[in-house]
Chains A and B, each alone.
Chain A
Amino acid sequence: MLEVRDLHVKFHNRDREAVAGVTFTLRDGEILGLVGESGSGKSVTAMSIAGLLPRKKCDYRGDVLVDGEDMLHANRSLLRKIQGNKIGVVFQEPMSAMDPLMKVGRQVEEVLVIHTDLGPEERKKLAIEALADVELPNPEEVYNKYPHELSGGMLQRSMIAAAIVARPSLLLLDEPTTALDVTIQAQILKLLVKLNKKHGMSMLFISHNLGVVRKLCKRVAVMQRGVIVEEGATNDVFFRPQHPYTQHLIECIPARVKVIARKRAEETEGGADND
Chain B
Amino acid sequence: MKYALRRILALFITMILVSFLAFAAFHIISGDPARAILGMNATEKQLALLRQELGLDKPFLVQYFNWLLGFFSGNLGISYSYRQPVASLIIPKLQVTLVMVLISFGIIVVLSLPLGLRAAQKSGGRLDWLRTTVDQLCMAVPAFFLSILVSYVFGIVLKFFTPGDFPKMERDLTGALRYLFFAAVCIAIPRIAMAVRMLKSTIIEEMEKDYVRTAISRGNTRAEVLKKHVLKNSLVPTITFLGQTMAEIVGGSIVVEQVFGIPGMGRFLVASISNRDYPVVEALVVILAFWVILSGTVADLVGQKIDPRLRLGDRS
Contact = CB atoms under 8 A, between A and B. Distances in A.
A93 B219 contact: no
B216 A97 contact: no
Given A52-B216, A146-B308, A146-B309, A98 B211 contact: yes
A212 interface: no
Contacts of B308: 101, 146, 148-149
Interface string B203-236: 0000001110111111111001000110011000
Given A96-B209, A96-B211, A89 B232 contact: no
B218 A97 contact: no
Interface residues of A, number: 29
Interface in B43-77: none
B226 to A, nearest CB: 12
A146 to B, nearest CB: 5
B218 A101 contact: no
Contacts of A50: 217
A76 to B, nearest CB: 8
B220 A80 contact: yes
A99 to B, nearest CB: 4
B220 A52 contact: no
B306 interface: yes
A110 B209 CA distance: 18
A143 interface: no
A96 B209 CA distance: 7
Interface string B296-316: 000000000011110000000
A180 to B, nearest CB: 16
Interface in A1-58: 50, 52
A83 B233 contact: no
A111 interface: yes
Given A93-B210, A96-B210, A101 B219 contact: no
Given A91-B213, A93-B210, A100 B220 contact: no
Contact of B211 (A76, A84, A100, A111): A100
B210 to A, nearest CB: 4
A159 B211 CA distance: 11
Contact of A110 (B215, B221, B232, B306): B215
A262 interface: no
A102 interface: yes
A111 B220 CA distance: 9
Nearest to A165: B218
Interface string B244-271: 0000000000000000000000000000
Contact of A102 (B213, B224, B229): B229
Nearest to B233: A101
Contacts of A100: 211, 233, 307, 309
B219 A97 contact: no
A96 B213 CA distance: 10
Contacts of B217: 50, 52, 83-84, 87, 89
B213 A115 contact: no
A85 interface: yes
Contacts of B232: 101-102
Contacts of B228: 110
Nearest to B225: A99
Contacts of B214: 89, 91, 97-99, 159
A148 B229 CA distance: 16
A183 B296 CA distance: 45
Contacts of A81: 219
B201 to A, nearest CB: 19
A84 B210 contact: no
B220 A148 contact: no
B72 to A, nearest CB: 40
Contacts of B211: 96-100
A97 B220 contact: no
A99 B232 CA distance: 10
A114 interface: yes
A210 B205 CA distance: 35
A149 B220 CA distance: 25
A82 B215 CA distance: 13
17 contacts: A50-B217, A52-B213, A80-B219, A81-B219, A83-B216, A89-B217, A97-B214, A99-B211, A99-B215, A99-B229, A100-B211, A101-B233, A102-B229, A110-B218, A111-B219, A159-B214, A162-B218
Which 8 pairs, one residue from A and one from B, show the smallest C-beta to C-beta distance?
A: A84-B218, A84-B219, A96-B210, A83-B219, A89-B217, A99-B211, A80-B219, A146-B308
Interface of B: 209-211, 213-221, 224, 228-229, 232-233, 306-309
